[in-house]
Amino acid sequence: MPSSASSVCSLYSNYTQIDSSDHFTYCLESDTSDDSSYRNTIKTAFETAYSAYVSTYGFPAPNGGSGIEIYITNDYANAAWADSDNIRIASDLSNGDNIYSMPAHELFHTIQYEMFDANAESQILEGTADIGADAVNEDWDGMYHYGNTAANNWLYWTWNYETSRAALLFWKYLMGTYTSSTDINNPDYGMDVILAIFEDFESTYATRGDELTMNTLRGAIKNVYGGTPATFVNIYRRFLLSLYAKDLTGTATAYLGYPQDYLEDADNTYRDLVFYDDSAALNSSGDTATFANSGTGDEFSDIGQAAPIYVDIGTNIRRVIFEPNNIDNKSIYYAGAIEYLDGLGNSILREITGLTPVRTSTVSVYTMSYPASSYDAVGFVLFPFTLDEDPSDGAGDKFEVTLTGI
C-alpha cells in the first residue's frame, strides 16, 4: 500500500507527492520537472517487479508490506539508490531496457533489506539484484546490465568494482545447478534457488547479525542442498571452466554439465575471456611453464577472483605434471581441464579433479592423462582462484604453479 498521508514524501526535503499505485507512492523533487509519460513507465516497471517478486516468486513484501516511496530527483544522472522503505531514482533514466531493469534492480534491494537488512557483501547484493531484474522479464536486460564485460570483470585478477555486478554469472550458474525448474527459457528459471538461499540467509542473519559473505553462501548451500563445505569449491571450479567451455564447439558444455545457457546475450563479445597468461607452450617432453602473480598489483584482492591461464600443448605431450607452490598463500584453489580434439575436430574439455588447495610449504604433484591416447590435446586450461574472505591478511592472494609436459 502507498505511504500514509501524515508522513508521505517526508523522508527527504523538498519533495511532494505527485502520484501513487498499489504498492508505491511517487514523490517529485521541487526543482525537478514532472514527465507524466516517464512517471507512468516507471510505475509499470515497479508494479510489475513487485508482483513478480512477491506474488510469483514468494519473496516477502518489502518494508513489511507498508509500501515503498519513490523519490524522483534530478540529483542523479541515469541512476538510482535504494533503502529499506524508499528508492531514489533519476528523472532521466534512459529509454530502452534500463528504464525497466533499474527499477526492478533497486526494488530487489528493498527485499534484501527486508530479509537481512541488506547487510551482505556486494557480490551477494548486486549480483542477485541483477538476477532479480532479469527474472522479472528477460527482455528487460537486467542480467546484462554489464553484459559485455561481465565475465572478464568477475574473473579479473585485480579489484574492479564491477565484479560485484558480474557476480550474477555465478548466481546464474548456481541457480541452474540446483533449481527444480525445467524450462530454461522461462524468466523464473532458478528463482526457487535464490529464495531458498535468501531464507537461509535470513535465518543466519537473525541469529548472528553480522555481514553475510560468500563464505556464508557456502554454508547456505550446505544447509539447503546438502553436501560438505567442499561442495561450494567444486561448484565454483566447474563454473570457471564453464565460462571457458562456452566458447568451444562440440560437446564441451555438455561434458561439463553446463546447467543452462546463461551467456546468451546477442552481443557475445564478453564470452572471450581476458587471460592472465596464454603465451606458454609445452611442445616437447620436459618443457615447463611457471605462472605466478607478483604480489605488487596483480594479486587477488577479493573472494572469488580467478586468473585464467591457457597453455598450448604439443601433439606428442601425453601427460602434464602440475606442481603448485604454496609461497605465502593459504587458500588458493585450482580449477583445471585438458582441452583436446575428438575425431571430428570438436573441442572437448576434460575436467581435472583432485586439484586441492595447498596449505603447507610442501609441493604437491598431480599427473593427469588424457582420456584417449588417440586424441590430440591442444591445451591446458587452469584457473587459480581464492576463497579467502580477507586477502589483505596476506593469505590467499598469491599463487605460483609450474606445469611440465611429458
pLDDT at 19: 97
Q: Within a 10 A sphere around the Cβ of 359, how many other Cβ atoms?
A: 13
Worst-scoring range by mean pLDDT, 53-62, 141-150, 287-296, 301-310?
141-150
Contacts of 103 (CB under 8 A, 6+ apart): 42, 45, 46, 49, 80, 87, 89
Please tell me the least confidently modeled range out of 99-103, 295-299, 379-383.
Answer: 295-299
CB contact at 8 A, 200 and 345: no
What is the rounded CA–CA span in Å between residue 321 and residue 306? 21
| Domain 1-118, second-level architecture | 2-Layer Sandwich (3.30)
Q: Is the pLDDT of residue 192 over 60?
A: yes
**Cα torsion 7, 10, 14, 15: sign:** negative
- Rounded distance between C-alpha atoms, residue 161 and residue 165, angstroms: 8
Distance separating alpha carbons of residues 247 and 321, to the nearest angstrom: 26
- In contact, 34 and 92? CB cutoff 8 Å: no
Q: Which CATH architecture has domain 275-405?
A: Sandwich (2.60)
What residues does each domain of the chain span?
A: 1-118, 275-405
- Please provide residue 148's backbone torsions phi and psi, each rounded to the nearest 5 degrees: -70, -15
Place of cell 563479445: 269
Q: What is the pLDDT of residues 27-45, one digit of tens each?
A: 999 999 999 999 999 999 9
Residue closest to 289 by CA, chosen among 316, 315, 321: 321
AA letter at 173: Y
Among the listed ranges 70-74, 204-208, 322-326, which one has the minimum average pLDDT value?
Answer: 322-326
Specify whether the CB–CB gap between 310 and 337 falls below 8 A: no
Same fold flag, 1-118 and 275-405: no
The predicted-structure confidence for 303-347, as pLDDT tens digits, reads as follows 677 888 999 988 778 778 888 875 555 567 888 888 877 777 777
Radius of gyration in angstroms for the set of CA atoms belonging to the chain, rounded to a whole number: 24
- Looking at residue 98, what is its pLDDT? 78
Q: In terms of pLDDT, which residue wins out, 67 or 315?
A: 67
Most confident of 46-55, 212-221, 322-331: 46-55
| pLDDT recorded at residue 14 | 95
| CA 324, chain centre distance (Å) | 27
Q: What angle separates helix 214-225 from helix 168-178, to the nearest 10 degrees?
A: 10
CB crowding 95-125: b at 16 or more within 10 Å, else e: eebbbbbbbbbbbbbbbbbbbbebebbebbb
Running DSSP on this structure, what letter comes out for residue 140? G
The contacts found for 360-363 with CB under 8 angstroms, 24 or more apart, are 360/326, 361/326, 362/326, 363/323, 363/324, 363/325, 363/326
Alpha helices (H) along 209-286: 214-225, 229-245, 252-255
Q: Which of 129, 123, 133 is nearest to 167 (CA)?
A: 123
Question: What pLDDT was estimated at residue 187?
Answer: 74
pLDDT digits (tens, 9 = 90+) for 243-252: 777 655 444 4
CA angle 225, 226, 231 (to 5 degrees): 95
Average pLDDT, the chain: 79
Among residues 290, 387, 256, the alpha carbon closest in space to that of 333 is found at 387
Which whole-number Å values give the CA distances from 348 to 246, 247, 328, 337, 375, in the listed order? 11, 11, 35, 10, 10
**So what's the pLDDT on residue 365?**
56
User: What is the per-residue pLDDT for 2?
Assistant: 60
CA gap 177, 262 in Å, rounded? 12
Listed residue (309, 365, 366) closest to 339, CA to CA: 309
Q: How far apart are the first and last CA of the chain?
A: 69
State mean pLDDT over 103-129.
94
Distance, in Å, from the CA atom of 141 to the CA atom of 288, rounded to the nearest integer, reads: 44
Query: Which amino acid belongs to residue 136?
Result: V
Confidence bin at 154 (pLDDT 50/70/90): low
